Amino acid sequence: MNKYWLAISSLALASLCMVGMSANAQQTAGADDIPAAQLMQPAELVKILAASGVAKPLILQVGSRVLFTEAHIPGSEYAGAGGTEAGLQTLRDRVKTLDHAQSIVIYCGCCPWGRCPNIRAAYRQLNSLGFAHVKALYIATNFGTDWASKGYPVEKGH
């Protein structure tokens, strides 16, 4: 990925993050209260995805549709922006037929972790629905910086 694309993407991500925060700041801002044991580092997920003969978790992107279309983790599904009621409904609809023992990894990557308007609400929603094996992918800065620019696999479209 070239530096120009990363700079533009970072600015767009920051703008989307700030819009999401102002719209729903009290309910969703800050993901720092997700327990450390429930966080997954990007390198750990890359290893799981590359391993053969290992059951893969369901990977759900809970940020904006625009960001998902631009670039996302291969095999992941768009599950609605967790910072909105409509997004949480999309998430509930996606998981309603799953076994509560299903391993799920959620991620957003719109902006710095502590300001993400989506990940915390999506994490809480899945926990309140009784899912016991939910991990939040820890994306410290944004998806471009902490995933794509590290050379981890991405897909575009959908």
Domain residues of the chain, as ranges? 3-150
- Number of helices followed by number of strands (H, E) in the chain: 6, 5
pTM equals 0.82
Give CA–CA dist 6/152, Å, rounded: 14
- The stretch 143-151 carries a mean pLDDT of 96
Helix (H, G, I), strand (E, B) or coil at 34: coil
- The stretch 23-44 carries a mean pLDDT of 74
- Are 117 and 21 in contact by the 8 Å Cβ rule? The answer is yes
Whether pLDDT at 43 is above 70: yes
Q: What is the mean pLDDT of the chain?
A: 85
> Which tokens hold the place of 65?
């549709």
- The mean-pLDDT minimum among 25-39, 60-74, 89-103 falls in 25-39
Whether pLDDT at 62 is above 50: yes
- Are 58 and 105 in contact by the 8 Å Cβ rule? The answer is yes
Q: What's the confidence (pLDDT) of residue 32?
A: 73
What's the CATH superfamily of 3-150?
Rhodanese-like domain (3.40.250.10)
- The stretch 120-143 carries a mean pLDDT of 97
